[in-house]
A and B are shown apart, each in its own frame.
Chain A
Amino acid sequence: MDILSLFIIVPIATILALVFSKGLKQSRIVSMVGSIVQLGMAINLIFAYFKERAVNSDIMVFTKDLVWFKDFNIHYNIGVDGISVALLLLTSIVVLAGVFISWKMNDLPKEFFVSLIVLSIGVYGFFISLDLFTMFVFFEIAVIPMYLLIGIWGTGPKEHSAMKLTLMLMGASAILLVAILGIYFNSDADGGALTFNILEIAKVNIPIEAQKLFFPLAFIGFAVIGALFPFHTWSPDGHASAPTAVSMLHAGVLMKLGGYGVFRVAMYLLPEGALHWSWFFIILAAIGVIYGAFSAIKQTDLKYINAYSSVSHLGLVLFALLMLNKTAWNGAILQSLSHGFMTALFFALIGMIYGRTHTRDVTKLGGLLKVIPFISTIYVIAGLASLGLPGFSGFVAEMNIFVGAFEHDNMFYRIATIVSVSAIVVTAVYILRVVGLMLMGPVKNEAFLTLEKVTWYEKTGILLLLIPIVGMGVAPLWLSDMILESLEPFIQGML
């Protein structure tokens, strides 16, 4: 059994076990065990990767290639580099934390956990695919369960939100499919056979006109899920209605598919298109960065604040990817990881606060530090991490992005960088506003005085997410060098 396919097989086994389990207690234990195995595999994969990397200088390692549809040359083709290894680790941690946070999911627990794990299959598969078509299939597998998860287990106008989210993402998928087919039908430009294989297409010189045509489609197709302005509006409503673990997975992992896809498909396969279009999308991304931050200031619902914050932070990912240099790319990947952990942590905390106080309105909350000190303290830490305080992952990622982007020779890019950098102030404003209103100050409501203390499974979930945030922030070297090294062949391809 190869080490990567296990990432698909173990969740499938977990789902089978879930089918035979009864009630909340069994389902959550099964899911937890399955997710712990996944986390173990992801950690093991990092070590295995380093070992393999020492002797193997291919772009992708642990590759495996099985023919799936012969007629269209579709393969089940998998492999990883430093970037996907890191994202797999992110996914496994967020999924496990999500299971802990859903420890008391009383409503149709079995179905809930099954959907959650189906979603994770899609994400794992997406990160290991080297075949465009397979990748697309996994992408859809990840998106569809979201509809059920929000529509069934959500709160508020959940049907509407679920519909909106799914339709917008499906619309993007349609555009993406056009781009993928466009790439496919141009993959014989150098006289070879038509192929979906990413590594092989990268060697083909796709005609520049085709690149210019298909790059925006591929970019937008992926970037919608990465909350590109102005296609981000599915995200606030979707998050607000989604149950906690779903928000965590969605913002923490699913939205990362956008940046990853842009990088792996749009940038890597259509470099000329990227060069041609980068200025335009940089403007959109920079607007997203500032716009998201300013929108977050005025929101009162915690989930909306966090959703707009994600628009801002993920805008930075797309912004960095478009800078087309190694340092900024490194920053984009690090920001994806960092945002994944941070935002999952935020949603987990918001879920805990909502579960206790039954409101997410910051103006109605107040003085929580006094009554639920553990959760509140972690919220402060997460907030500080989110505003890019050194010692946490956000700083490391943002500095890579800013330095990388500023290295651009063209003045336009440097000015765009300065505009995006200014988001650090606005971010501080909306984070400290929430901290001031919600956590500090006098306790606003008598009922808050008797809130339930943090439970062990909540603590476990929190710590799972907090440790990588601090780890990345304090000792970024091994991770950032691992990613930098994997970026080398891509940057070669661009030049």
Chain B
Amino acid sequence: MNFSNIILIPLVPLAVFLLLGIFNQKIKPAVSGYIGVAGLLTSTLFSFYTAYQYFFVHGKINGVYQTFVEKTVWMNFTETLRIDMGVLIDPISVMMLIVVSTVSLMVHIYSRGYMKGDDGYTKFFAFLSLFSFSMYGLVLATNLFQIYIFWELVGVSSYLLIGYYYTKPSAVAAAKKAFIVTRFADLGFLIGILIMGYYTGTYDFEILNNPEGDAILNWASTSFMGLSALTWGLILIFLGGAGKSAMFPFHIWLPDAMEGPTPVSALIHAATMVVAGVFLVARLFPLYYFVENGFALNIVAYVGAFSSLFAAIIAITQTDIKRVLAFSTMSQLGYMMLALGVSGYDDHEGLGYMASMFHLFTHAMFKALLFLGAGSVIHAVHSNYLKDMGGLRKYMPITHITFLIAALAIAGVPPFAGFFSKDEILVAAFEHNKLIYFIGVFVAGLTAFYMFRIYFGIFWGKETKYERKPHESPISMTFPLMVLALLSIVGGFIPFSEFVTADKATFEAHLNYPLAAVAVGVGLIGIILAWIFYKKENDLADKLANFFGLFYKWTSDKFYFDEIYLFVTKKILFNLVSAPIAKFDKKYVDGTMEGIGNKTVWTSDKIKGLQSGKVQDYGFAFIAGVVIIALVFIYLWTN
């Protein structure tokens, strides 16, 4: 493989970021939009070229995909441990290049329309480029530390973009929350990296993931509190992944992150950055699978399944369409996690792995589409809330159709993309863990229901009295919608098992018709229920809500997790840890030092009379001294 152009994929957005960032004031907004799009277009072209070269020309030898690595030393820690910077080309990194490029390019184009006239237009494109650079660096990482570095950088890009409307207090709070919650999770990631480095002596993915390698064969040689130290490492690393991918209980930052501009939500908080956690587990999949017979992987599966269910339930009751989509994202990420969690390694056993990556791919397309569609709606009605929408299908035909396509895709209706990937996930779950399978099916039904709830709520139902007549968005915004809609239709037909598998050897995957029928059936039930409840204005939904009473209230308040976090941070950490420490410092630590000082002054005050300057005093003291010494000597002498 030729690496010279792959290196450019991250570097071009970096250059664009520096250019737009440094000359922020000097570049005209119109120009900066073009620079941003052009930069990303370059990266996209290189990404597709790389994918073509890899999947169809150089990548496969005897039906097995090879891994290509090009790297250079960035910093030396010890003789064995060091941080390398480089690119690692294997099926999942190439697939991620495609996902990131496609969505990012569409979002760049879309933003030229959506952000038009905004004060910080240039800054916005600079941040988008920074994010794209970091995300490319993350997916191409060759070792744990490199991925951690870019992990933090995507985190900070996310922080900057959520806080983009920085004069709005809610946006500032959301940005801070997102950064700190993920940072807390990253603490686990970092400690996990330290553990892996200490016990295996390397951060390198190639060495760590080698099925015949030291880490995988000798995991049992280390132990800590009943588990292999490597298992602890993997659990801690997963903690980082759970933070980024908004898994329970680190999910609280994601809904608030919707304070950012909608294109940002589409790019970062739906399609790319939030899947980094899934990508991380996939990246280390051999370790997760083999170490301690998949103990850590089981945790991944259950956390994924629970988050998926938890989020889907909450999504039903939310009234802000972006928040519905946020919980939906969390739910779908849980789906990907659980698919990884139930996956095996060899050949067809690795179906879950392949299904997870497949779902990551299709989800990126249709979820970005949903967000961009929602953005188009919000752009038209200037509100995020369902109550301010309704009947928009007449005014916004393109948005309507593309949103419908995306909704059908996520609901798992054939032949849209989501159907295929979801089906594979459910098959994998069915083969390995029935409980998780049933959760998956139930979530599929919920997904269809909440998605069509907002679909009907936005485009059908009672028409709100609009102050200004809503209109379709400009071409710069509808074009990306159409492209993504197309991908949401055809994306499912990609024979993914030909490209991305756990052991990198291709296998044939077939539809499992009975299971597919069940999944589709459940999805259709969800859609029909939504149709009954929300197609026309009626009070069925309210009745249902009343029926569930308290449970409905809990759900719509997101089970009070925000409040719990607030209690822990504000009441416990701030008031019971930080404030007493600050007080202790002032009163006791500093007080002691001041006390010593004051005592010294006091003592000198008392004894300063000794230095009176009067000769008779000195004479008296002198004689007294001589007498005392003489007495002492005499005493010693006589004894």
Chain A residues with a Cβ under 8 A of chain B: 163-164, 167-168, 229-234, 237, 291, 294-295, 297-299, 326-327, 367, 369-370, 384, 389-391, 395-396, 399-400, 402-404, 406-407, 414, 417-418, 421-422, 424-425, 428-429, 432-433, 436, 439-443, 476-477, 480-481, 484
Instruction: Please give, as numbers and ranges, the residues of chain A lying within 8 Å of B589 by CB-CB distance.
Output: 229-230, 232-233
Q: Report yes or no: A436 in contact with B593, Cβ–Cβ below 8 A.
A: no
Asked, given contacts A389-B152, A406-B194, A432-B180, whether A440 binds B163 with beta carbons under 8 Å apart, the answer is yes
Residues of A within 8 A of B592 (CB): 230
Which of B76, B574, B582 contacts A295 (CB under 8 A)?
Answer: B582
Q: Does B179 contact A (CB under 8 A)?
A: yes
| B179 contacts A432, C-beta separation under 8 Å | yes
Counting CB contacts under 8 A, is B30 at the interface? no
Which residues of A have CB within 8 Å of B156? Answer: 384, 389
B174-200 CB contacts (< 8 Å) to partner A: 175-176, 179-180, 183-184, 186-187, 190-191, 194-195, 197-198
Interface locus among B53-61, B164-172, B321-329, B543-551: B164-172
Within the assembled complex, what's the spacing in Å between the Cα atoms of A327 and B173? Answer: 38
Q: Name B73's closest neighbour in chain A (CB-CB).
A: A477
B2 at the interface (CB under 8 A from A): no
A422 CB contacts on chain B under 8 angstroms: 187
**Residues A370 and B167 in contact in the complex (CB < 8 Å), given A294-B577, A400-B77:** yes
What are 17 A-B residue pairs whose CB atoms fall within 8 Å in the complex?
A164-B593, A294-B582, A384-B156, A395-B152, A402-B194, A403-B197, A406-B197, A407-B81, A417-B194, A425-B184, A425-B187, A428-B183, A436-B172, A436-B176, A441-B166, A477-B74, A477-B76
Query: Which of B75, B148, B175, B589 has the most chain A CB atoms inside 10 A of its CB?
Result: B75
- Per the bound structure, the CA–CA distance linking A20 and B78 in Å amounts to 53
Q: Flag if A442 contacts B169 (CB, 8 Å).
A: yes
Specify the chain B residue showing the minimal Cβ separation from A370.
B167
Question: For the complex, what is the distance from the CA of A440 to the CA of B145, rounded to whole Å?
Answer: 32
Residue numbers in B under 8 Å from A440 (CB-CB): 163, 166-167, 172
**B74 to chain A: which residues have CB within 8 Å?**
476-477
The residue among A298, A369, A389 with the most chain B CB atoms within 10 A of its own CB is A298
Main secondary structure of the interface of A (DSSP, over half): helix
Instruction: Name the A residues within 8 Å of B194 (CB-CB).
Output: 402-403, 406, 417, 421
Are A291 and B75 in contact, CB atoms less than 8 angstroms apart? no
- Residues of chain A within 8 A (CB-CB) of B597 are 163-164, 167
Q: Please give me the residue from chain A that is nearest to B74 by CB atom.
A: A477
- Using CB atoms, name the residue of chain B closest to A398: B190
User: Does B15 make an interface contact (CB < 8 A)?
Assistant: no
Interchain CA distance A406-B236 in the complex, whole Å? 15
How many residues does chain B have at the interface if contact means C-beta atoms less than 8 Å apart?
Answer: 49
Report the bound CA distance from A60 to B497 in whole Å.
61
Complex: A389 Cα to B145 Cα, angstroms: 13
Given contacts A168-B593, A399-B145, contact A390 B153 (CB under 8 A): yes
CB–CB A480/B76 < 8 A: yes
B179 touching A477, Cβ below 8 Å: no
CB 8 Å contact bits of B127-160 with A (1 = contact, 0 = none)? 0000000000000000001001110110010000
Q: Mark B residues whose CB is within 8 Å of A.
A: 73-78, 81, 83, 145, 148-150, 152-153, 156, 163, 166-167, 169, 172-173, 175-176, 179-180, 183-184, 186-187, 190-191, 194-195, 197-198, 573-574, 577-579, 581-582, 585, 589-590, 592-594, 597
In the complex, A476→B197 CA distance in Å? Answer: 20
Which residue of chain A is the closest to B589 with respect to CB atoms? Answer: A230
Residues of B with C-beta under 8 A to A441: 166-167, 169, 172
Closest residue of B by beta carbon distance from A387: B183
Which chain A residues lie closer than 8 Å to B578 at the CB level?
Answer: 294-295, 297-298
**Pairs of residues from A and B, 8 with the lowest C-beta to C-beta distance, nearest first:** A233-B590, A390-B149, A298-B582, A440-B166, A297-B578, A406-B194, A440-B172, A294-B581
- Taking CB atoms, residues of chain A closer than 8 Å to B594 are 164
- A402-B190 in contact (CB<8A): yes
Q: Shortest distance in angstroms between B348's beta carbon and chain A's nearest beta carbon?
A: 39
Instruction: With both chains docked as a complex, state the minimum distance between the C-beta of B564 and any C-beta of chain A, in angstroms.
Output: 17
CB contacts (< 8 Å) of A480 on chain B: these are 75-76
Q: Which residue of the partner chain A has the closest CB to B167?
A: A442
Contacts of A232 in B (CB 8 A): 589
- Please measure, in the bound complex, the distance between the C-alpha atom of A440 and the C-alpha atom of B179, giving whole angstroms: 15
List the A side residues contacting B579 at CB < 8 Å.
298
Q: What CA separation (Å) do A407 and B198 show in the bound complex?
A: 6
Which of B73, B76, B150, B197 counts the most chain A CB atoms within 10 A? B76
User: Is the Cβ of B75 less than 8 Å from the Cβ of A476?
Assistant: yes
Q: Which residues of B contact A481 (CB under 8 A)?
A: 76
Flag if B75 contacts A295 (CB, 8 Å).
Answer: no
Inter-subunit contact B78/A326 (CB<8 Å): yes
User: Which chain A positions have C-beta within 8 A of B198?
Assistant: 406-407, 414
Which residue of A369, A395, A417 is within 8 Å of B166 (Cβ)? A369
For A327, what are the chain B residues with a Cβ–Cβ distance below 8 Å?
77-78, 81
Q: CB-nearest residue of chain B relative to A384? A: B156
Contact of A295 with B581 in the complex, beta carbons under 8 Å = yes
Complex: how many Å from CA A299 to CA B583? 10
**Set of chain B residues within 8 Å of A477, measured between Cβ atoms:** 73-76
- Determine if B593 and A233 form an interchain contact, defined as CB atoms under 8 angstroms apart: yes
11 new A-B contacts at CB < 8 Å, known A164-B594, A428-B183, A442-B167: A297-B573, A297-B574, A297-B578, A299-B582, A327-B78, A395-B152, A400-B77, A403-B197, A422-B187, A424-B186, A477-B75
Q: Nearest Cβ in chain A — how far from B121, in angstroms?
A: 15
Interface centre among B173, B194, B592 (most CB of A within 10 A): B194
Q: Are A429 and B180 in contact (CB under 8 A)?
A: yes
Report Cα–Cα, A402/B145, bound state, in Å.
13
- Name B148's closest neighbour in chain A (CB-CB): A390
Chain B residues whose CB sits within 8 angstroms of the CB of A418 once the complex forms: 191
Contacts of A428 in B (CB 8 A): 179-180, 183
Assembled-state Cα–Cα distance A406/B197 (Å): 9
A397 shortest CB reach to chain B, Å = 11
- Chain A positions within 8 Å of B148 at CB level: 390
Q: How far is the CB of A432 from chain B (nearest CB, A)?
A: 5
CA distance A468 to B76 in the complex (A): 19
How close is A434's CB to chain B, nearest CB, in angstroms?
11
- Residues in chain A near residue B585, CB distance under 8 A: 233, 291, 295
The smallest beta-carbon distance between B363 and chain A, in angstroms, is 28
Minimal Cβ-Cβ distance residue in A for B81: A403
Chain A residues with CB under 8 A of B190: 402, 421, 424
Nearest residue, chain A, Cβ from B159 = A432
Q: Chain B: which residue is nearest A290 at the CB level?
A: B581
Closest chain-A Cβ to B374's Cβ sits at a distance in Å of 25
Smallest CB–CB gap between A381 and chain B, Å? 10
Q: Which residues of B contact A425 (CB under 8 A)?
A: 180, 183-184, 187
- Which chain A residue lies CB-closest to B119? A370
With the chains together, A315 CA to B512 CA distance in Å? 60
* Residues A484 and B172 in contact, CB atoms below 8 Å apart: no
Instruction: Enumerate chain B residues within 8 angstroms of A367, measured Cβ to Cβ.
Output: 167
Q: Which residues of B contact A484 (CB under 8 A)?
A: 76
Q: How far is the CA of A295 from the CA of B577 in the complex (A)?
A: 9
**Chain B residue with Cβ nearest A439:** B166
Q: In the complex, which residues of chain B have a beta carbon less than 8 angstroms from the beta carbon of A167?
A: 597
Q: Which residue of A lies closest to B184 (CB)?
A: A425
With a CB–CB cut-off of 8 A, which chain B residues contact A403?
77-78, 81, 194, 197
Contacts of A443 in B (CB 8 A): 167
Question: Shortest beta-carbon distance, A261 to chain B, in Å?
Answer: 21
Q: A406–B77 Cα gap in the complex (Å)?
A: 12
Bound CA–CA A480/B83 (angstroms): 12
Q: Which interface residue of B81, B166, B195, B590 has the most chain A CB atoms within 10 A?
A: B166
Shortest beta-carbon distance, B239 to chain A, in Å?
A: 12
How far is B577's CA from A404's CA once the two chains are assembled, in angstroms?
29
Q: Which residue of A lies closest to B600 (CB)?
A: A167
Query: Which of B169, B179, B573, B585 lies at the interface centre, i.e. has the most chain A CB atoms within 10 A of its CB?
Result: B585
Is the CB–CB distance between B187 and A421 below 8 Å?
yes
Contact A424 B183 (CB under 8 A): yes
> Could you say which residues of chain B place their CB within 8 Å of the CB of A442?
167, 169
Residue of A nearest to B574 (CB): A297
Bound CA–CA A481/B76 (angstroms): 7
